[in-house]
Amino acid sequence: MIKCIFTSSTSACLEWQNNLPYYAEGDYTVLLDGKEQGTFNTNVFSLFDLAPNTTYNLAIKGKDVSLQITTQAETACLSIEQFGAVGDGVTDNTMAIQTAINCLPVGGRLVVPQGNFVTAPLCLKSNVTLELQKGATLTAHTDKSRYPVVPGELADLVTGEMVQLGTWEGNPVNMHQAFIFGEHLSNVNIVGQGTLEGNAHNIGWWIDVKNQPNGRPRLVFLNNCSNVTIHGITGQNSGAWQFHPFFSNNIRFLDLTINAPKDSPNTDAIDPEACDYVDIIGCKFSVGDDCIAIKSGKMYIGQKYKTPANHHTIRNCLMQFGHGAVTLGSEMAGGVKNLTVNRCIFYATDRGLRIKTRRGRGKDAVIDGVTFENILMDNVLTPIVINMWYNCCDPDRYSEYNTTREKLPVDDRTPYLGEFCFKDMVCKNCHVSATYCDGLPEQPIKSIELSNIQFTFADDAKSGVPAMKNNAIKLCKSGLYFDNVTKLVIKNVTLEGVEGEKIITNNVSDFTEE
């Protein structure tokens, strides 16, 4: 009934094996070797302050549940205070902490103890664990000049080949170094109950965002990294996207809390870009943009590297107040494949699933194999949006090419959307539209299946635009809308409170309703 999904040398993350979204069936108390460790109410829970290389017997008080967990071994444990760091919220600790990271032996753990440690951006290294203990905060320095500019790409001096270093919204352009920065790392853990404070509101990263000369810093940026787990910590108030793995693989985000004000710009919680095997499990989000946005670059990156976002799992997460709970794109020119989202709660987000693509993303921009299962949505404006007419960010967004509803030739610029399955979902207190799916006339969405889904609308539903596209019309209490879809299957779907037709189909070739 309980599975251990991760251990570090001092922490463990565990998950109930049930069919409930995010929350367990009730409160429960965890015992380790007979000693109470705390009472929890979520499907995913974590234990901290464990001893390295130690086996524990875990049990649940009053239940017939038991298993053994064993923490990882470590070679050394050092504290940043041993290198002169002072957690007074004033002292600049950059040199002390970076020196501590540099000196840490392979397999070692670096401890950030209780206190508020101010620092400029830090660079991680491979084969180490960074632990932020309870009450510990790493706070980003308020001096913008302390954030170096990382080039988007540079030419190799010998071969002339371009080396990808930085990125901003899907293009290889210059960016400010992230607060926690990692390039070509492997076997890294960031764990604990402490906080990474991006401090953007006190630095000015959220002011005049359209006119800043370089991409704003992320909270954590991982470029071409592998086997990285971030477990337990709180991340908040990043200059831009908060956790951004880029061309990386085997990346895990477990039991995180990620916060930013609802009106903060581009503060997506987790944005994996062109990554393979990413797990996002047991996380809680409340941010100013998309909670999770899965990406694979714009045209240049997509065509050059042809690296899709692949094998992503999102499970037992709580998404609140973002623009989209789970978004694909719009920078998806390399494609998105094999995504599973289950046992999640979406609360008061603008959209539940949000797919953003458009003409010009290219022939490698293939989204296929997407499954949403066992999802509870509450007060979500539009639960399902699949939009092939996304009109933000790009210079040609108002061009005739991207606005005409005429059928154009399929060419190297045309994206493709494949199979999408939504099942066992409850969507209550909807506002704008239950479902809004709009494909291209020259490249319809291949297949959409909705089964065992309940949609109900709020009595005081607010009108709004269901999808960000040119010539969008505000809707309110609209039903299931599909345009330019090849195959549509609707099984056991109920709608309450709809005003107008429950199902609207245009240019749907094969429609089955049961």
At residue 345's C-alpha, the angle toward residues 275 and 274, to 5°, is 10
pLDDT tens digit sequence for 268-283: 999 999 999 999 999 9
| 3 state SS of 360 | coil
pLDDT tens digit sequence for 164-205: 999 999 999 999 999 999 999 999 999 999 999 999 999 999
- As a whole number of angstroms, the distance between CA 16 and CA 22 comes to 10
Are 470 and 397 in contact by the 8 Å Cβ rule? The answer is yes
| 3 state SS of 438 | strand
- SS3 of 216-278: the string is CCCCEEEECCEEEEEECCEEECCCCCCEEEECCEEEEEECCEEECCCCCCCCCCECCECCEEE
| 3 state SS of 98 | helix
Token couple for 29: 């108390």
> What whole-number percentage of the chain has pLDDT above 70?
100
Are 302 and 296 in contact by the 8 Å Cβ rule? The answer is yes
> What whole-number percentage of the chain has pLDDT above 90?
98
Evaluate if residue 3 carries a pLDDT over 90: yes
pLDDT tens digit sequence for 431-470: 999 999 999 999 999 999 999 999 999 999 999 999 999 8
- As a whole number of angstroms, the distance between CA 196 and CA 45 comes to 20
Strand partners, 78: 110
The pTM of the full predicted model, rounded to 2 decimals, is: 0.98
Write down the pLDDT at residue 396: 84
Q: Tell me, what DSSP letter sits at residue 156?
A: -
Average pLDDT over residues 71-100: 98
Token couple for 500: 């107008």
478: nearest Cα among 462, 500, 456: 500
Write down the pLDDT at residue 397: 85
Average pLDDT over residues 231-242: 98
- As a whole number of angstroms, the distance between CA 219 and CA 238 comes to 5
| 3 state SS of 202 | helix
Token couple for 112: 């950030």
Write down the pLDDT at residue 394: 79
E strand segments, 267-412: 276-281, 284-286, 292-294, 309-315, 318-320, 324-329, 336-347, 351-356, 366-378, 382-387
307: nearest Cα among 316, 297, 318: 297
pLDDT tens digit sequence for 6-35: 999 999 999 999 999 999 999 999 999 999
Beta-strand relationship, 44-47 and 12-16: antiparallel
Burial code (b: 16+ CB inside 10 Å, e: under 16) for 248-280 equals bbbbbbbbbbbbbbeebbbbbbbbbbbbbbbbb
Token couple for 489: 């299957």
Using the structure block, give the residue that is written with the tokens 């210079």.
395
Q: Give the burial class of 458: count Cβ atoms within 10 A of its Cβ; 0-12 exposed, 13-18 middle, 19 or more buried.
A: middle
Query: CA-based Rg of the chain, rounded to a whole angstrom?
Result: 23
Write down the pLDDT at residue 227: 98
Query: Domains of the chain (ranges plus CATH)?
Result: 2-70 (2.60.40.10), 74-186 (2.160.20.10)
- As a whole number of angstroms, the distance between CA 493 and CA 305 comes to 40
Are 382 and 466 in contact by the 8 Å Cβ rule? The answer is yes
- As a whole number of angstroms, the distance between CA 360 and CA 346 comes to 30
Confidence of residue 393 (pLDDT cuts 50, 70, 90): confident
| 3 state SS of 457 | strand
Q: Tell me, what DSSP letter sits at residue 466?
A: S
| 3 state SS of 303 | helix
- As a whole number of angstroms, the distance between CA 431 and CA 425 comes to 17
Q: Tell me, what DSSP letter sits at residue 401?
A: H
Q: How far is CA 249 from CA 8, 222, 273, in A?
A: 19, 10, 10
pLDDT tens digit sequence for 113-168: 999 999 999 999 999 999 999 999 999 999 999 999 999 999 999 999 999 999 99
Write down the pLDDT at residue 435: 98
**Amino acid identity for residue 55 in this structure:** T
* Residues near 21 by beta carbon (within 8 Å), at least 6 away in sequence: 316, 343, 344, 345, 374, 375, 376
Evaluate if residue 322 carries a pLDDT over 90: no
Q: How far is CA 17 from CA 1, 22, 37, 41, 429, in A?
A: 5, 11, 20, 14, 28
Average pLDDT over residues 386-399: 89
